Chains A and B, each alone.
Chain A
């Protein structure tokens, strides 16, 4: 028979105050095992204080072929950035 253990994506918070970051993936039969495995595989050197596991198949990713329409329209919206606005040099701390 042999059904393979599914793939899980592992997110680790390195310390409180930081966000969970994608660390890598691994195989596990269920979520508990994925957590246990993630602890042993990705936090052996004190790398984490919190772990999220998500089965890889549950992640919906954007398609790089659509990158043009997805991301390029944001490129010319310079008015969203503070440097767009001219202020006299005398104004400090703004």
Chain B
């Protein structure tokens, strides 16, 4: 492939939306209230919409006959490059919202930089997505505050979720080889530069939510290199089920 770095770079971005969208999709019909259910499904739909834009572009770059669905559903686990954060399960609503919030703050900052990409397709996608993600970030940070500063019980649960997921935040700012190449070409975003603003914003919301900012300095990584947590295999088993069980068919 001529543009292998760009291809991998796009997949790195899109996989985050794909896996998070899939996680949120699991919740449809099981939310804490009808209204919240509808809201979470909306976020899932936004993310899958983004995924399709990215993968359609990636398929074009690949230049062979692969489709968005081949890319989404027919890779091996090691070839998915999403961060570990987004594959973490819906342990309870606090985890779901904490995962969303910790990703949204990053996602928003990332897209606002990606808008400046010299790759016009990517900057156009970023331009469209940023409106959706601004909303996600407001929605999830509102819930962090509600649950953090709600009841005794919700505070404990939200703190547990933040503590549990904190270890996956640092990976958001790791650079892959494709990242470096794309930054050099003015196409990609230098994620290392997003880190300070990220923690500033996250901490601001946590404080407002009367939550403790975790002190742990030990962080997990690997997703961007395709080394995932054990949750990932099961998620992919569902995502890929039809394409694997009935190969080469149209749906």
Direct contact between A and B judged by beta carbons closer than 8 A: yes
Asked if A41 meets B146 with Cβ closer than 8 Å, knowing A5-B33, A27-B33, the reply is: no
Q: Could you mark each residue 118-150 of chain B with 1 if its beta carbon is under 8 Å from any beta carbon of chain A, else 0?
A: 000000000000000000001100100010000
- A29 CA to B154 CA in the complex, in Å? 15
Residues in B lying within 8 Å of A, measured CB to CB: 33-36, 38-39, 42, 138-139, 142, 146
- CB of B38 within 8 A of CB of A41, answer yes
Which of these, A5, A29, A32, A37, contacts B38 with CB under 8 Å? A37
- A3 CA to B33 CA in the complex, in Å? 13
Q: Which residue of A lies closest to B39 (CB)?
A: A40
Q: How many residues of A contact B (CB 8 A)?
A: 12
Q: Could you mark each residue 23-36 of chain A with 1 if its beta carbon is under 8 Å from any beta carbon of chain B, else 0?
A: 00011110011001
- CB of A40 within 8 A of CB of B38, answer yes
The listed residue with most A CB atoms (<10 A of its CB), out of B35, B42, B142, is B35
Q: Could you mark each residue 5-28 of chain A with 1 if its beta carbon is under 8 Å from any beta carbon of chain B, else 0?
A: 100000000000000000000111
Looking at the assembled complex, report how far the CB atom of A26 sits from the nearest CB atom of chain B, in whole angstroms: 6
- A32 CA to B34 CA in the complex, in Å? 17
- A29 CA to B42 CA in the complex, in Å? 19
Asked whether any CB of chain B lies closer than 8 Å to the CB of A92, the reply is: no
Q: Chain A contacts of B33 at CB under 8 A?
A: 5, 27
- A44 CA to B35 CA in the complex, in Å? 13
Q: Chain A contacts of B34 at CB under 8 A?
A: 27
Q: Which residue of B lies closest to A34 (CB)?
A: B35
- A28 CA to B36 CA in the complex, in Å? 9
Q: Chain B contacts of A41 at CB under 8 A?
A: 35, 38
- CB of A27 within 8 A of CB of B142, answer no
Q: Which residue of A lies closest to B40 (CB)?
A: A40
- CB of B146 within 8 A of CB of A36, answer no
13 A–B contact pairs at CB < 8 A? Answer: A27-B34, A32-B142, A33-B35, A33-B142, A33-B146, A36-B39, A36-B139, A37-B35, A37-B38, A37-B39, A40-B35, A40-B39, A41-B38
Q: Chain B contacts of A44 at CB under 8 A?
A: 42
Q: Chain B contacts of A40 at CB under 8 A?
A: 35, 38-39, 42
